[in-house]
Structure 1
Amino acid sequence: MNYSVDQDSNRTLTLVLYVLYIIAIFSAGLLAVIALVINYIKRDDVRGSIFESHFTWQIRSFWWYLFWNIIAFVPFIFLFFTGENVNAFAGVAIGATTFCLGVVGVSWIWIVYRAIAGIIRLNDNQPMYR
């Protein structure tokens, strides 16, 4: 083990940021935004260390997670084009809701997977990218 890596304050920060990304799914993403801001503010401090790759991993995870959550809600736009037809509205609403819940559910699993994979590599004192 590398003592300097184990005792580095950036290691603790990186771990805390991973935890924030995991519990962000219960805070409507607010904690993920806070973690992202910290990632960008502290990015220069970790440049050249193994934590730089973890910060890049976390930042990319956030932006992809946001992208897929936006895509999940796109079908609801079609509700505006159903007019006064109640059956069409109900069909589109059910389809949009099913799609949305499916995409959001998969993106939750994906962000938790990314965070756990990062925590495991961090615990092993390994960068995310080789």
Structure 2
Amino acid sequence: MIQGDDTPDLDKGLNQRQLVHLMYGLFAVGILTAGIFGAAILAAVVLAYLKRGDMVGTVYAGHIDWIIRTFWWGLLWLVLSGIASMIFIGFITGLVAMIWIIYRIAKGWLAHCSGETPLPGL
């Protein structure tokens, strides 16, 4: 029997940088398809939660938090906009919420491409 046949290959899979790109990409696909591929957004957030512990103390930890916060705040504002649509202002607030989500994903992804963490704020 050859030694090492059952040892894991440490180079398999995506590295942390690629995982963050994947999360931003999945989120963007879900948004750009107007929710048709909403499962992509959920996959990005689930992946962010699963990898959150692995990325503590790295430059990528800020991106994980950014993606998770963008999802939850965006969901809150979209739900509130849906409720407000009953009084005909929800469409405006929904549009503002979608622009905010797109802005945050773009800002975070561009910061990631530059090797930085997204700055807190909007």
Task: Tell me whether the two structures share a fold, i.e. TM-score over 0.5.
Answer: yes
What is the CA distance between 1:129 and its match in structure 2?
4.2
Identity of aligned residues (%): 28
Whether the 8 Å contact between 1:57 and 1:128 is mirrored in structure 2 is yes
User: Could you report, residue by residue, the CA deviation over 1:60-110 in whole angstroms, capped at 9, with x for unpaired residues?
Assistant: 00000000011011135xxxxxxxxxxxxxxxx5x43xx222122111111
Report whether the alignment pairs 1:75 with 2:84.
yes
Report whether the alignment pairs 1:109 with 2:99.
yes
Question: Structure 1: which 5+ runs fail to align?
Answer: 1-7, 77-92
Q: 3-state DSSP class of the match of 1:50? A: coil
Inter-partner Cα distance in structure 2 for 1:9 and 1:22: 20
Provide the TM-score with structure 1 as the length reference: 0.71
Poorly superposed stretches of 4+, deviation over 2 Å = 25-30
Question: Structure 2: which 5+ runs fail to align?
Answer: 1-13
Whether the 8 Å contact between 1:19 and 1:115 is mirrored in structure 2 is no
Give the number of aligned pairs. Answer: 104
Greater relative contact order, per chain length (Cα 8 Å cut-off, separation 6+)? 1
Q: RMSD in angstroms over aligned alpha carbons?
A: 2.0
**Greater CA radius of gyration, 1 or 2?**
1
Provide the TM-score with structure 2 as the length reference: 0.75
Partner of 1:18 in structure 2?
24
Structure with bigger helix share is: 1
